[in-house]
Amino acid sequence: MKALCWEGKGDIQYEEVPDPRIEHERDAIVKVTSCAICGSDLHLYDGFVPGMKKGDVIGHEFMGEVVEVGRGNKKLKVGDRVVVPFTICCGECEQCRRGYFSVCETTNRNKELADKMFGHGTAGLFGYTHLTGGYAGGQAEYVRVPYADVAPVQVPGTLTDEQVLFLGDIFPTGWQAVVQCDIQPTDVVAIWGAGPVGQFCVRSAVLLGARKVIVIDRLPERLTMALAGGADVAINFEDEKVLARLNDLTNGKGPDKCIDAVGLEAHVTGSIDSMMDRAKQAVMLETDRPHVLREMFMACRPAGVVSVPGVYGGLLDKIPFGAVMNKGLTIRTGQTHVNRWADDLLRRIEEGQIDPSFVITHTVALADGPEMYETFRHKRDGCIKVVMKPDGHAHHTGNGHAKVRP
Amino acid sequence: MMTKAIEPVRHAGSRGTAEIMAQGLGLFSIALGAAELLAPRKLARALDIEGQERLLQAYGLREIGTGIGLLMNDRRAPWMWARVAGDVLDLATLGAAMGSSRRREAVALAIGSVAMVTALDIACARALSQDSQHEERWYPDYSDRSGFMRPAEEMRGAAEFETPPEYRASLKTSEELPRTPNAANRTD
Ligand SMILES: NC(=O)c1ccc[n+]([C@@H]2O[C@H](COP(=O)([O-])OP(=O)(O)OC[C@H]3O[C@@H](n4cnc5c(N)ncnc54)[C@H](O)[C@@H]3O)[C@@H](O)[C@H]2O)c1
Ligand SMILES: [Zn+2]
Ligand SMILES: [Zn+2]
């Protein structure tokens, strides 16, 4: 079959790889009908996530049709249409039973490696590093889904791929980031990053009833999309001083809740400290560029909540932890516990509360994936979210740009 | 309802930050150059490369040159790349000294510092070059992509969702009514 493979920093290739097979009786094989590129994939692309190997099949946002089911799998049958959450979970361990699926204690088959890196390993993830199990990913024609009797979400035929695909990652991610903030009707919420995750944070904050939603980015097309989704104020950090503006907007108190939807690759020339971080990364004195964390800790209202869906990988410098401690901030973070929210969010899509397809700007054939990594990476051509079709037929969506390669 | 505010984008790019960084590096260049030019003996002794004082003074002049270039010019990118080239020369010289010097620790420290500055110079030079390329950036209008069927204002609070107990926050609003009576003392 064909798949997108990681061949090194900045090098994604559309390659022929062996077809996946059932390896365990709870497995299923899914024929992918749609998959997407995530901001997390960019961290792999840019070489900031340790534990990648050449030839790894990448991608963790995918859905499709079940074409084969292991003997012990009582939940799925051939022909089922499923969205597959990016977190692989067993459903039985203590963390899974708590609903903390992204820290499942059984599905990471490289737990020892991860224990060394993070103190304790976390759940297995599709198409990500070997620190999270090194499972082949979903930017492919077929995927082997381990523990397939737990996470996959069955979706009705009345909804399109585009409407349900993001149930596997970015919609629940934006939702959990906001839920973790425990939104009150009086809250001012500030969201850093208006990428796909930031966009779902904005809509979740609106649905969950925040008084005022502020979004921060530098790309006008993303800020406009955030305003369309109900954000009240957009701050372009290249044109304005973020901290000063946030204080102006809150009578000097600071936002009650702050969300980092940017992660470890804060824009290099966005600030002096990010440039210093970039230099330290080059000489291996630091792994991440945590500008947004620094800014949030300074901005957040005392006793407020800082929620971090943005991904970080290793060691961070010059974090104003004095501000965190003295202001009594609560920090909540983590890979998303997708299954905790997916059914409820599916219901909301069915009821017409939200249609997640708004975020798709590019639909292409999987073969065009390598080129689209470049486009998404450099935010060219108004690119916000790329959906790929392994069968080669691109479907035009919204006023985005569709490319077809038969 | 609150007014929507989006600042018009004057230019895409991050001239500001890279420019400030370039000025800082320009000043640094001049200071380092002055030290090499005026106290070459001290430096040579510290690194145990005595006999190379003239070379150090020449490097000092080079540093001062690029420093002034960076501070006096509006187009800083070429000067920044000149700094990068100078860094490479410095690293090569220090690398050679590593073999013969009896003060290897001092040389290693110097190499480390120069490497850090080199990385900074490269980041800055890149940013300056990129800025001049992306002065005009086309972007589409996504103002019709709300994701909601009804106007976004009407969706505020539409979720009717109860925060799970473990995600309740410590911040309780004092000036406004809490969502439920006695919320401040809620223990669940
Ligand atoms: N927790 C999870 O389970 C989970 C799931 C999906 C994605 N993520 C992470 O969420 C983050 C965002 O993902 P995405 O798909 O939206 O990526 P993206 O790269 O499209 O979006 C990041 C946005 O941040 C903006 N940005 C950069 N520097 C900034 C700064 N200093 N201040 C404000 N904005 C800044 C960029 O312009 C960009 O629009 C990534 O780190 C990704 O790995 C986490
Ligand atoms: Zn993702
Ligand atoms: Zn588990």
pLDDT exceeds cutoff 80 at B135: no
Give the Cα separation of A279 and B78 in Å (integer).
19
What's the length of chain B? 188
Neighbours of ion ligand 2 (CB under 5 A): A 38, 40, 169
Residue pairs between chains A and B whose CB atoms are closer than 8 Å: 204
| pLDDT top residue among B132 and A333 | A333
Is the pLDDT at B13 greater than 80, yes or no?
no
* Contacts of B173 by beta carbon, 8 Å cutoff, 6+ apart: A184, A186, A187, A256
Atom of ligand 1 nearest to the CA of A376: 20
Q: What is the 3-state secondary structure (H, E, C) of chain B?
A: CCCCECCCCCCCCCHHHHHHHHHHHHHHHHHHHHHHHHCHHHHHHHHCCCCCHHHHHHHHHHHHHHHHHHHHCCCCHHHHHHHHHHHHHHHHHHHHHHHHCCCHHHHHHHHHHHHHHHHHHHHHHHHHHHHHHCCCCCCCCCCCCCCCCCCHHHHCCCCCCCCCHHHCCCCCCCCCCCCCCCHHHCCC
Token duo for residue A275: 């440039």
pLDDT at residue B184 is higher than 90: no
How far apart, in whole angstroms, are the C-alpha atoms of residue A364 and residue A401? 9
Half-sphere CA count of B102, side-chain side, radius 13 A: 3
Q: Which whole-number Å values give the CA distances from A10 to A375, A378, B134, B143, in the listed order?
A: 12, 12, 21, 32
What pLDDT is recorded for position A283?
Answer: 86
Other Cβ atoms less than 10 A from the Cβ of A401: the count is 17
Task: Give the chain A residue whose CA is nearest to the CA of B139.
Answer: A382
Interface of B with A in 147-166 (CB under 8 A): 147-149, 152-153, 155-159, 161, 163-164
pTM: 0.90
What pLDDT band is residue B137 in, cutting at 50, 70 and 90? Answer: confident
What is the DSSP pairing of strand A124-125 with strand A87-88? antiparallel
Inter-residue contact A250 to A188 (CB < 8 Å): yes
> Residue B10 phi/psi, 5° resolution?
-75, -45
The answer to whether residues A45 and A37 touch, using CB atoms and an 8 Å cutoff, is no
What residues are in contact with ligand 1 under a 6 Å CB criterion?
Answer: A 38-40, 42-43, 169-170, 173, 192-198, 216-219, 222, 237, 261-263, 266-267, 270, 291-292, 309-311, 335-336
Q: What mean pLDDT is reported for chain B?
A: 84
Could you give the CA distance from residue A136 to residue A108 in angstroms, rounded to a whole number? Answer: 13
pLDDT value for A284: 87
Whose tokens are 């946002």? That residue is: A61
> Regarding the domain delimited by A2-168+336-389, which CATH topology (the fold level of the hierarchy) does it fall under?
Quinone Oxidoreductase; Chain A, domain 1 (3.90.180)
Using DSSP bridges, classify how beta strands A330-333 and A233-236 pair: parallel, antiparallel or unpaired. Answer: unpaired
Q: Where are the domains of chain A?
A: 2-168+336-389, 170-333
The pair of three-digit structure tokens given for residue B8, joined into one six-digit string: 């018009």
Q: Which residues does chain B have within 8 Å of residue A242's beta carbon, measured at their own beta carbons?
A: none
- Which residue matches tokens 């899974």? A96
For ligand 2, the distance from its centroid to the CA atom of residue A253, given in whole angstroms, is 33
Q: Looking at residue A205, what DSSP letter applies?
A: H
Q: How far is the CA of A127 from the centre of ligand 2 (A)?
A: 10
Residue B9 clears pLDDT 50, i.e. is over it = no
Cβ of B61 under 8 Å from any chain A Cβ?
no
- Of A160, A168, A167, A207, the C-alpha closest to A185 is A207
Q: What is the pLDDT of residue B173?
A: 55
Helix (H) or strand (E) holding A177: helix A170-179
Query: What CATH number matches the domain at B3-133, 1.20.120, 1.10.3470, 2.60.40, 1.10.357?
Result: 1.20.120
Cβ of A402 under 8 Å from any chain B Cβ?
no
**B4 Cβ under 8 Å from any chain A Cβ:** yes
Domain A170-333, second-level architecture: 3-Layer(aba) Sandwich (3.40)
pLDDT (tens, 9 = 90+) of chain A, 406 residues, equals 999 999 999 999 999 999 999 999 999 999 999 999 999 999 999 999 999 999 999 999 999 999 999 999 999 999 999 999 999 999 999 999 999 999 999 999 999 999 999 999 999 999 999 999 999 999 999 999 999 999 999 999 999 999 999 999 999 999 999 999 999 999 999 999 999 999 999 999 999 999 999 999 999 999 999 999 999 999 999 999 999 999 999 999 999 999 999 999 999 887 889 989 998 998 888 899 999 999 999 999 999 999 999 999 989 999 999 999 999 999 999 999 999 999 999 999 999 999 999 999 999 999 999 999 999 999 999 999 999 999 986 554 444 444 333 3
- Probe residue for ligand 1, chosen from A217, A277, A308 as the CB with the greatest number of ligand atoms within 8 Å: A217
User: Does the pLDDT of residue B171 top 80, yes or no?
Assistant: no
For residue B16, give the nearest of B8, B5, B24 by alpha carbon.
B24
Pairing verdict, β A362-365 and A401-402: parallel
**Does B184 contact A at CB distance below 8 Å?**
no
Question: A239: which chain B residues are within 8 Å (Cβ-Cβ)?
Answer: 7, 9-10
pLDDT digits (tens, 9 = 90+) for B70-85: 999 888 999 999 999 9
**pLDDT per position as a tens digit, B15-55:** 678 888 999 999 999 999 999 999 999 999 999 998 899 99
State the Cα–Cα distance between residues A32 and A391, nearest whole angstrom: 9
Say how far apart CA B140 and CA A400 lie, in whole Å: 9
Taking CA–CA distances from B129, the nearest residue in chain A reads A269
**pLDDT given at position A192:** 98
Q: Which tokens go with A229?
A: 């989704």
